[in-house]
Amino acid sequence: MSDAPLLLSSEIPSSSPITDLAVAAVGGGSLVVCTDRNGAVWTWDPQRDLWQKRSLAYALAGDPLAVQYPGAENELDSVAAAVSGGRVLLAAGGPEQGSALWDLESGEVLRGALYGDPYVGSLATVKGDGPPLFVTGSDAGVRVWGPSVEEPLVELPDSDIDGICAVATARINGRSLVVAGGGDVGVWDLAAGEQLTSFYPDDGRVEAVAVSRIAGRPIVVAAADPGEMYVWALSGDEIDEPVHDPINGHEGSISAMDTATVGNRSLAVTGGTDATVRMWDLAEGAGIGAPLTGHRGGVAVVRTTVLRGREVALSAGEDGVIRAWDLAAQLS
């Protein structure tokens, strides 16, 4: 095993910028699902370096207004994925289309969208046991929904964050938590259906959020303009205090972020408009190693996952290339 941080990389066949990606565990491996700037959905099998463009039925075809727009196609740039009953369920939406759900393999719409639905700012899969659930963040707030059209969309209370563009979920101390960011940050207990807390960064708009732990203590992480990352402790149902001063290291804005635990270290991985990927020790509030370079343009999305038995961060963006970074190698 090489000790170089870059484990592998691959370019999307459309040669278009990648706007979002999600990872599903399939057949003992990982399947990466991503959207490109043309609104198309692709999958990448890292084990075989195999790309496939997915044909998805039009999500709004069931709306009576659809007859006024013959030939309309999906316009997707946010995705989330879950595996249920042996099927990969794909939730997706975009800035001109509400969230919907597909069977990824067949392309069948399982839960469609309507023309009046809020446009999507961000999507996430709820982490935890039970049937798959998805979270959508938009200008209309934070909504939780499942595969069945018989289950109503649930809007989380007090989710009036201005311009939500980031949502994330985590299972922390037996609770499923949802965090959303835009003009400010909110945290909800999903089972209780109540907002735990909300707070504001000192300056700038939140571009990415996550929930993690430091030594077992829950924390909320938020990346905001003009390139700072905030780490707050979550004490009970309230934000306690900043763990340390805001972290600043990118030469420009932080546009993507995710968290991971490697060994006993709580990490954040960020991508920036400066075309670099950086890794941070959340307890110390300090960078780890040199910036990870190679992208030819801004990084739009970062997702941490397990690949080939290794903890990795997947990064992608303007150059249409997915890069897999070995987190343990960066720590060594």
pLDDT digits (tens, 9 = 90+) for 66-113: 999 999 999 999 999 999 999 999 999 999 999 999 999 999 999 999
The mean pLDDT of 156-174, rounded to a whole number, is 89
Radius of gyration of the chain (CA): 19
pLDDT computed for residue 237 by the predictor:
65
**Over pLDDT 90: what percentage of the chain?**
78
Q: What is the pLDDT of residue 279?
A: 97
- Using CA of residue 140, residue 141, residue 146, residue 148, what is the dihedral sign? negative
CA distance 253 to 317: 14
Per-residue burial over 114-143, b = 16 or more CB atoms within 10 Å of its CB, e = otherwise: eeebbbbbbbbbbbeeeebbbbbbbebbbb
Q: Is 216 exposed, middle or buried (0-12, 13-18, 19+ CB in 10 A)?
A: exposed
Mean pLDDT of 153-164: 87
Query: What pLDDT was estimated at residue 299?
Result: 98
Confidence class of residue 200 from pLDDT cuts 50, 70 and 90? confident
Residue 32 pLDDT: 98
Specify the amino acid at residue 294. G
Least confident piece of the model among 132-141, 203-212, 272-281, 296-305: 203-212
Instruction: Look at residues 244, 246, 176, 167 and name the one whose alpha carbon lies nearest to residue 210.
Output: 167
- Residue 149 has φ and ψ, to the nearest 5°, of -70, -15
Residue listed under structure tokens 């905030």: 230
Predicted pLDDT of residue 127: 84
**Per-residue pLDDT at 13:** 98
When pLDDT is averaged across residues 275-296 and rounded to a whole number, the result is: 96
Per residue in 247-267, pLDDT (tens digit) is 988 998 999 999 999 999 999
- Calpha distance 99→74 (Å, rounded): 11
Give me 49's structure tokens.
């370096």
Q: Which residue has the higher pLDDT, 327 or 28?
A: 327
Distance CA 212, CA 82 (A): 20
In the chain, alpha helices (H)? 327-331
Tell me: cis bond preceding 152? Omega within 30 of 0 counts: no
Write the CA distances from 107 to 66, 188, 265, 290, integer angstroms: 18, 32, 40, 42
What band does 225 get if pLDDT is binned at 50, 70 and 90? confident
The dihedral region occupied by 163, where left means phi > 0, alpha psi between -120 and 50, and beta the remainder, is left
Average pLDDT for the chain? 92
In which residue are the tokens 């740039």 written?
A: 77
> Quick one: pLDDT band at residue 142, thresholds 50, 70, 90?
very high
What are residue 217's phi and psi, to 5 degrees?
Answer: -90, 125
CA distance 142 to 283: 29
Residue-level pLDDT at 2: 44
Tell me the one-letter amino acid at 204: G
Q: CA 88 to CA 22: how far, in whole Å? A: 11
Q: Cα dist. 145→60, 134, 137, 296 in Å?
A: 17, 5, 12, 37
Q: Average pLDDT, stretch 20-40?
A: 95
Domain 15-62+72-155: CATH superfamily, name plus number = YVTN repeat-like/Quinoprotein amine dehydrogenase (2.130.10.10)
Q: What percent of the chain has pLDDT over 70?
A: 97
Could you tell me the pLDDT band of residue 3, with boundaries at 50, 70 and 90?
low
Q: Is the dihedral of CA 85, 88, 93, 97 positive or negative?
A: negative
147-163 burial code (b ≥16 CB/10 A, e <16) = beeeeeeebbeebebee
49 has which bridge partners? none
Give the mean model confidence (pLDDT) for residues 139-163. Answer: 89
| Contact in structure between 180 and 137 (CB atoms under 8 Å) | yes
Mean pLDDT of 17-30: 94
> Between 232 and 203, where is the model more confident?
232
